[in-house]
Amino acid sequence: MSIGEATSEQTPDSTRMRWRRSGGAALVVRGLHRAVYPLLGVAVLLALWWYGGHLIASDPATESFAGFGPGPTFASLADLIRSGQLWGIAYPSLHRIGLGLLWATVLGVPIGVSIGYFRVAQETTHIPFQFLRMISPLAWMPIAVLAFASWDGAIVFLIIVAAIWPIIFSTAHGVKRIDPLWFRVARNLGAGGGQMLRRIILPAIGQDVFAGIRLAVGVAWIVLVPAEYLGVTSGLGYAINDARDTLAYNDLAAIVVVIGVLGYALDRICLFLIQHFSWRVEL
Amino acid sequence: MSSHRESSAMSARIAIDYVTHTFRGQPTATLEDVDATIQAGEKIALIGRSGCGKSTLLHMLAGLMLPSQGCVRIDGRRVTKPSAKWNMMFQKPSLYPWMNVRQNAALGLVFAGQGRSANTRVDALLDLVGLGDNKDANVQQLSGGQQQRVALARSLATEPDLLLLDEPFSALDAFTRSALQDEVAHITRQRDLTLVIVTHDIEEAVAMADRVLIMSRNPGTIVGELRVDLPFPRDRNRAEFTKLREHLMNKFRDSGDAHAAKPENIGKDDASQAAA
């Protein structure tokens, strides 16, 4: 009798405990907890934007710029998506940045590996590279225009100039951080130069290379838009210019939103790759 | 591969011919006139205080360093670079964290272009060193002793004739250390490998070696030796073991600086050394 009472009292409690231990409730609670602050941040940004838009729209002197408010912007964005125009605007930009990053990686990783591996290479390149790195990629614009036959070529060149430095330095840093014993052990096990590169060096620095690419994406994405103010007739930068000239401020703001969202997405991709190539384990 | 095995014995004979080494920028020689012969299949412990150059000498046997004068020969051939015929283990296991246990152990075979046939051989070795249940484990999650076992399997996978150990157990706890000493002693005897272990642990030397070479420092050279004629497995509590350990300890203490144990004093009885 008393035993029966005790179990009937315990049962609901222990099932709840079991459910919680199995992760159901805890997962939901933790998920909400994690989402609260990011959502709050987004809400504050939207609120500020809305308030700014409201101020602009309610002042007769700035009334004509009311398109910058979130309402008209999102309406325009929805139109761009629905009509399929958005892809046509974004694709040339993504193509240019992809091409620029590819070249920056193809050139930057071997240079970075040499700098990290050979002391002579590091000492020789240090001053020239630090000097070149400090020159804004946009300062190369007139030279790029002269040097390249096509506008597209000039833009890709500017992206390479912007993106290559973080890739070089991050790769070199990764190589320098490699435990020297890893080289000795590999040589001892009979590794040749190519095997050392493929089996030891590249896996060891994978995460550093992608960390460099992530930084490069940040810089290149910022350089891309002003570079597309050059003679080209496609891409996000061109679309912004075009919207300004036609006084379509809602379109202009919509493109700005697209730039931000795409930039954020590119960054997340890089972050995923860094984690994928990271071999460090939290114990 | 198999023809190479037939042409040479399973163990390597090492000749160290008057090796002298001075590191660049250093006024005195780290090693001076080191001259010794290690017979095929012999198990040698090289002991000495830190800075006596014992680790440098081992690197030269491995072909990872070249002496400024003199040379090292293994099976009559001058050692100038690393080879799959011998393998060195270090104090740190130095495993590659992006590879699992099996991939780490198979690395030497992959380098030799035998990656395809590696799995069965590597699996057998991992069973041998007691890692049968951890073949797919992340090496970063293994204990220090387990990591050193992976390194041992990696060293054995290329079927070397000679195993060179540079204080490989000194970072382990006492229990794991003695277990691994016994295992390596057993495996090297079973496979008839030549073994050279550098250590500053007297007990380790007596537990593993047939012959202990004692080195002095300033300059580093071999100043004495001790034969260890004890059967395997060696019981560390047996009277013969403790006696040899004490004997070696006394010799070792006397070898602290070169003045106390000049080469000419070698072979003289203990009384003259104690008086010096």
Integer CA distances (angstroms), A20 to A10, A64, A184, B177, in order: 15, 56, 50, 43
Residue A244 lies in a domain: yes
Instruction: Report whether pLDDT(A224) > 70.
Output: yes
pLDDT digits (tens, 9 = 90+) for B122-171: 999 999 888 888 889 999 999 988 999 999 999 999 889 999 999 988 88
Comparing A111 with A84, which gets the higher pLDDT? A111
Which residues in chain B touch residue A181, judged by CB atoms under 8 angstroms apart?
90, 92, 94
To the nearest whole Å, the CA of A282 is away from the closest chain B CA by 9
CB pairs A-B closer than 8 Å: 59
**Mean pLDDT of all residues in chain A?**
87
Quick one: A50 and A110 in the same domain?
no
Domain of A30 in residue numbering reads as: 2-58
If pLDDT is split at 50, 70 and 90, which confidence band does A16 have? low
Q: How far apart are the C-alpha atoms of A259 and A254, rounded to whole Å?
A: 9
- Which among A181, A187, A203 is the nearest to B90, CB-wise? A181
CB-neighbour burial class of residue B73 (10 A; exposed 0-12, middle 13-18, buried 19+): middle
In this structure, the number of other CB atoms found within 10 A of the CB of residue B37 comes to: 11
Quick one: A21 and A79 in the same domain?
no
Instruction: Report whether pLDDT(B183) > 50.
Output: yes
Q: How far apart are the C-alpha atoms of A259 and B200, rounded to whole Å?
A: 64
The A-side interface with B (CB below 8 A) comprises 179, 181-182, 184-192, 195, 199-200, 203-204, 206, 279-281, 283
Nearest 5°: CA angle at A224, between A99 and A240? 130
- Which among A179, A190, A199 is the nearest to B94, CB-wise? A179
Is there a contact between A185 and B111 if contact means CB atoms under 8 Å apart? no
Residue A65 lies in a domain: no
Q: Could you tell me if B100 and A206 are in contact, meaning their C-beta atoms sit under 8 angstroms apart?
A: no
Total domains in chain A come to 2
B66 touches chain A (CB under 8 A): no
Quick one: A53 and A112 in the same domain?
no
Which residues in chain A touch residue B96, judged by CB atoms under 8 angstroms apart?
182, 200, 203-204
Instruction: Report whether pLDDT(B263) > 50.
Output: no
Is there a contact between A283 and B87 if contact means CB atoms under 8 Å apart? no
Which residues in chain B touch residue A199, judged by CB atoms under 8 angstroms apart?
107, 110-111
To the nearest whole Å, the CA of A173 is away from the closest chain B CA by 18
**Residue B154: which residues within 8 A CB-CB, separation 6 or more?**
A189, B95, B104, B105, B106, B107, B108
- Which of A30, A58, A86 terminates a domain? The answer is A58
- B/e letters for B216-240, b = 16+ CB within 10 Å, e = fewer, are bbebbbbbbebebebeeebeeeeee
Quick one: A153 and A23 in the same domain?
no
Residue A135 lies in a domain: yes
Comparing A116 with B29, which gets the higher pLDDT? A116
Structure tokens at B139: 């090496």
Q: Whose structure tokens read 């004629």?
A: B229
Quick one: A170 and A83 in the same domain?
yes
Mean pLDDT over residues A90-98, rounded?
95
CATH of the domain at A247: 1.10.3720.10
DSSP SS3 for B234: coil
Quick one: A114 and A222 in the same domain?
yes
Q: Could you tell me if B157 and B121 are in contact, meaning their C-beta atoms sit under 8 angstroms apart?
A: yes
Q: Which of A184, A185, A187, A274 to mutate to test the interface with B (most CBs of B within 10 A)?
A: A185
Q: How far apart are the C-alpha atoms of A53 and A65, rounded to whole Å?
A: 9
Lowest model confidence (mean pLDDT) among A24-28, A64-68, B179-183: A24-28
- B/e letters for A150-178, b = 16+ CB within 10 Å, e = fewer, are ebbebbbbbbbbbbbbbbbbbbbbbbeeb
Residue A64 lies in a domain: no
Question: Has the ipTM of the complex gone over 0.90?
Answer: no
Residue A267 lies in a domain: yes
Q: Which of B59, B60, B111 to mutate to test the interface with A (most CBs of A within 10 A)?
A: B111
